[in-house]
Amino acid sequence: MAVTKAERAELKKLPIQGYCDWKGIAYTTSSPSEIRMVDHDSLVVRPKMNLFVWNSTGIKGDLVDFIHYYELGKQDGDSKGEAIRQQLAYARYVKGENIDLDKLAQERQPAYQFNYDKVFRTKETDVAKDYLVNQRQLDPQFVDRLIQRGEVAQGSKYHENDILHQNPVIFPWKSVEGKIVGADRQGTEIDFEHYQKRGSSKKISLGSDTSTGYNLSFGQGDKTLVLFESPIDLLSYAQQNHQALIANDATLLSISGTDSKRGSQYLNDAIAKKQARFNNIIVAFDNDRAGFKAADYFDRFTFKNTVTNETIQAVREIPLKGKDWNEQLKAGVTGKQTLTMAENSQRLEELEQIVTEQSQGNPFDTKDQKASALPATNKSTDDKKTPTQRTKAQRRQENRVKNMALIKEAMAKVTQYQTDPQALKQLLDFTASGLNYSARNSLLIQLQRPDATLLKGYRQWGESGIQVNKGEQGIRIFGAPIDLKTIIEPNGERVRWADATADLKQKALDKELVVKTVKHYPVETLFDVKQTNATPDKIPSLLPNRPIDLATDNSPIHLDQAY
């Protein structure tokens, strides 16, 4: 039977916040009108609107989108069938509890109280020890001590994504008073199919107190606070710096993500409740853009210890090898690089430049054409280069010119839609064929390849085990807009920050020149399925969901998916 409009409206009322409570997805209440995910604090849910926005990715939507992109880690173009099934499972749970959906959509259900006794654990420790020692390469004696002291435990096997998973490692969280008030659950098996780049399951126990996190103390543990993104990094750092941590009376705290406010909250609680003498913060987040961005929080604010009446000094530490402390441990390297918070901000700026380096201009906006000035060059150096040894900036400029030429050539055909009704009908038919792109990008695709049916980027095809045929011409479309940093020269010309000379950048930093941001649209390249080596037997699994005729197709699976 078909789903009625009334039933669809009821499903729309299912609250994202209530779903998080049901699935044990940890979040914090950042204001009366919004909540934030613990492991990705840039994802904000507004319960009154029952919508979310993931600021770091630009993704937003309703409960199905939340499950699809956030919980399942899927991408654009992936089927939302599994997300809909999860929504239906929650709907059945709610219906079974006889909850009024109108009331549920407006009122938050009482928060679940964390109880460590209800976190299922085993007496055996072989799986946890194997994971920590053999996979993470922590010292066996160190791991034994952690287990004996209850700092680490082995969880029971668990079901996730309809699969029975191996025993996880449990990392209990302690409040500043020493009470266990939460826990991390770290999966011990690799599964890239379900966990994308992470490779393994990472969860926070339902009801965990997010004013703290997994922590260990050395010496008195009340002078230096060291912050990490995960318990594994915390343990890797502790193993390599054990003696120094004792001498510095350090407490190590994992905030299970990059929400730096949790570190400051723990600090304030320790000072208020335990009269802690903290005078140093070491931000030991990952050596990547997200880590530097999170650490920048401690450069923007000043913290004071109300017990000692001293200003708390913050510094940044990164591993000498690899992205995080466990990568360094596994590489057999010791040591660390210490940065001031000002140097952290400078490094963040450099990383932000790299992110915007490949962005392209928007050819529809003529007033921004000057924003992509030709890169400044050093003549004495360029004279020595052969014609094939072009700089990155030169190659970027050449690609920009090629992309703009291709798009302008396509856009030149737009006038035919104004004069030829048949051409306009073909465009509308093409747009309605099921490709999930904006009107502007649908237009660009149709102008470049009218027979396109299923599009992906080169890397996306590769992830599906499919190769783009050699010599194929890609289809150019616009990606999401980004803010591009530019320097305004005295003559009014705009120079991209990535293309500016060191002298020009220094003048900008010294505020001798104005720095502005302009919207730019990166040009992305797609390939149609007919341009790949995809075989007929693979195509059905790649195609987006097509409409189901419930009058003729009574498959229980299709009916459930349609509902």
Q: H or E stretch including 431? A: helix 421-431
What's the pLDDT at 194? 62
Instruction: For the chain, give the mean pLDDT.
Output: 78
Q: Which residue has the higher pLDDT, 496 or 257?
A: 257
373-382, 416-425, 529-538: which has the minimum mean pLDDT?
373-382
User: How many Cβ atoms from other residues are within 10 Å of residue 343's Cβ?
Assistant: 14
pLDDT digits (tens, 9 = 90+) for 31-76: 667 888 877 778 889 888 899 988 877 788 899 999 988 888 887 7
CA–CA distance, 144 with 447 (Å, rounded to integer): 65
| pLDDT-derived band at 225, boundaries 50, 70, 90 | very high
Helical segments of 172-254, H only? 192-195, 231-240, 242-247
Residues in the chain: 563
> Token pair for residue 282?
């070491």
Residue-wise burial string across 41-66, b where 16 or more C-beta atoms lie within 10 A, e elsewhere:
bbbbbebeebbbbbeeeebebbbbbb
Q: Which residues pair with 315 in a beta bridge?
A: 282, 340
| pLDDT-derived band at 79, boundaries 50, 70, 90 | confident
Residues 214, 299 contacting (CB under 8 angstroms)? no
Q: Which residue has the higher pLDDT, 209 or 491?
A: 209
Closest CA to 280 of 237, 325, 311: 311
What's the pLDDT at 478? 78
pLDDT digits (tens, 9 = 90+) for 122-134: 999 999 999 999 9
What's the pLDDT at 250? 96
**223-229-233-239 Cα dihedral, nearest 10 degrees:** 0
What's the pLDDT at 488? 84
DSSP string, 38-61: SS-TTEEEETTTTEEEETTTTEEE
79-93, 364-378, 473-487, 508-522: which has the minimum mean pLDDT?
364-378
Classify 224 in phi/psi space as left (phi over 0), alpha (psi -120 to 50) or beta.
beta
Q: What is the mean pLDDT of residues 417-440?
A: 60
> Token pair for residue 51?
């919508």
What's the pLDDT at 475? 85
Q: Which residues pair with 340 in a beta bridge?
A: 315
What's the pLDDT at 370? 33
What's the pLDDT at 362? 41
Q: Which residue has the higher pLDDT, 28 or 328?
A: 328
What's the pLDDT at 5? 65
Q: What is the mean pLDDT of residues 484-494?
A: 78
Q: Supply the DSSP symbol for 157.
A: P
